[in-house]
Amino acid sequence: MKIGVLTGGGDAPGLNAAIRAVTRHALLAGDTVVGVRNGWAGMLGEGDTLELGRREVAGILPLGGTILGTSSKVNPVTLDGGEDQVMSAIRRLRLDALVAIGGDGTLSIASHFATLGAPLTAIGKTIDNDLSVTEYCIGFDSAVTIVAEALDRLHTTATAHHRVMVLEVMGRDTGWLAAIGGLAGGADMVVIPEVPTTVDDLLDHLRARRAAGSDFSLVVVAEGASIHGLRLSRAGDPPDANGHRATPRMALRGVGERLAAVIESSSGVETRATVLGHTQRGGTPSAFDRIWATRVGVAAHQFAADGQFGSMPVVRDGTIATAPIADVARKHRLPPDWYDLAKVFF
């Protein structure tokens, strides 16, 4: 067999581990592996590929990012002639299977081409952990660890200066990172897109903590959270090629900085904001991410070898299961019980 593999959307720790797993398992079976550069863009025009062998994937297990490059700006389904170009590239490259590694945008595209008859399987990754059906997405554990470590560090300076510290984390549509990272890092308040709140609610909570004797507070806010009474900038920017509000523009909303300014002006308590931004995506993947990326990578090659196209490996009940790509591509909001658990410690 000849198998292609691409990484699309935002980068996440563990992508290289998945590429390595697909490649090494395929080579063991005597298959040929072709890496597609820069996501779906590498399947357009003449294409942009390289053959992957043991040498090409040697030493990449602990590396962040992706050796194949990625892009969240190219959606061949919405481009004039894009569908024909991708289907032609599959035939021209003589691919027996294509493994697409990505989040909801990448998986939606993969599912679309599977319905057109393309031999597609996939692997789910996103630091937001917001894919449906699967219990885990590559990159989430590493990102949560970064959020928790940031809160550990902010805790010491907050207590020293008796400040409110506001930590803005990624989370365009869902609050997985904010809630789970906040829980792991001992946050005193978490603000997420799934749970509406107001500026007055936040201020009342912080005042109650002060009255109870806590002279500092750690507040985690997801970048996509909407807080009634807080004016944010550029909230109406157009979506990107995959229908998302573009991540750089999400950062320009300034929810962390603006919330900190309101807290300080309204309460008189010194308040500082920290925006983690892309540090949550970068760097060495955790051992957990390396292991799961390896498990789903091996499974994805097995799916390709078995001709299970239109389906992909997912994590269910702590093991590998099967699900249609289209089902996994749907958004999965943070379940209320996770937020309720975090609230115990507010």
**Nearest CA to 222 among 185, 277, 267?**
277
Catalytic residues: 128
- The 8-class DSSP code of residue 115 comes to H
CA angle 195, 196, 199 (to 5 degrees): 130
Neighbours of 35 (CB within 10 A): 23
Cα–Cα distance for residue pair 183/144, rounded to 1 Å: 10
CA distance linking residue 21 with residue 29, whole number of Å: 12
Q: Residues near 290 by Cβ (< 8 Å), separated by ≥ 6?
A: 14, 17, 61, 62
Residue 330 has, within 13 A of its CA and on its CB side, a CA count of: 8
Amino acid at 344: V
Comparing C-alpha atoms, which of 202, 220, 216, 206 is closest to residue 146?
220
Q: Where are the alpha helices (DSSP H) in the chain?
A: 15-28, 54-57, 82-92, 104-115, 140-161, 176-185, 199-211, 247-252, 255-267, 287-306, 325-328, 336-343
